[in-house]
Amino acid sequence: MNAPNLLPFHGEVYFFPGFISAKESEIYLHALMRDVPWEHRAIKIFGKEVMQPRLVAWFADAGQTYRYSGLSLAANEWNPALLAIRQKIKKLCGIQFNSALLNLYRNGNDTVGWHRDNETELGAQPVIVSVSLGAPRNFVFRSYHHKETKIKLNLGSGSLLLMTGETQEYWEHTLPRAPKVLEPRLNITFRKITMQVTEQ
């Protein structure tokens, strides 16, 4: 991987803006928007249930589940588009991811707030690969302990963002609202579930 680390300290983030060609990106976007069983679900934030400002879907190898913000997601079976993208990622970074969380931002009013992908199931120092399809959107990192330290990226269609090392411990990220954006953006975050957590 020939890309610079975008973080100044405590973590590693690598950006590949043309990972998937424009033509392939369009094909994958239309296939996934059509074929994925999208869900609009409620999550718990500070003890209250609110509807997510986006649609979600979860794909994984058999036997994998994922929990975040009070949700427990059962896995869908991989479809051809996701398998093709997963294989491309394996060629880039040598990792066979066993799960993928899909987020569909229907327009610029759909968003995700500040968070870290530090769920127990992902293990210590997880490697997370994020692929963007559709409308370009800004994506912002900030230091978890020093909120004024921020890094902003524009994630275009076909781009790939790789987060590894201490990133999820020391950095949080968000996709801010962009009211002028009218087209959808589909984000796929490939993850490796390393352990299963039993319900309490």
**29 burial level (CB within 10 Å; 0-12, 13-18, 19+):** buried
Q: Which residues of the chain have pLDDT under 70?
A: 1, 43-46, 63-73, 195-200
pTM: 0.89
Closest to 85 (Cα-Cα) out of 159, 163, 175:
159
Report the distance separating Cα 199 and Cα 95, nearest Å. 28
User: What integer pLDDT is reported at residue 197 of this predicted model?
Assistant: 47
Closest to 16 (Cα-Cα) out of 84, 88, 87:
88
Tell me the domain boundaries of the chain: 12-191
User: What integer pLDDT is reported at residue 198 of this predicted model?
Assistant: 44
User: What integer pLDDT is reported at residue 108 of this predicted model?
Assistant: 97
**Is CATH 1.10.287.130 what the domain over 12-191 is classified as, yes or no?**
no
List the alpha helices (DSSP H) in the chain: 22-35, 80-93, 167-170
Could you report the per-residue pLDDT of 76-99, keeping only the tens digit for each? 999 999 999 999 999 999 999 999
Report the distance separating Cα 49 and Cα 43, nearest Å. 5
Report the distance separating Cα 17 and Cα 11, nearest Å. 20
User: What integer pLDDT is reported at residue 62 of this predicted model?
Assistant: 76
Percent of residues, the chain, with pLDDT higher than 90? 76
3-state secondary structure of 171: strand
Report the distance separating Cα 60 and Cα 66, nearest Å. 9
User: How distant is the alpha carbon of residue 81 from its chain centre?
Assistant: 16
User: What integer pLDDT is reported at residue 142 of this predicted model?
Assistant: 98
Q: Report whether 31 contacts 65 (CB < 8 A).
A: no
Report the distance separating Cα 8 and Cα 30, nearest Å. 36
Residues in the chain: 200
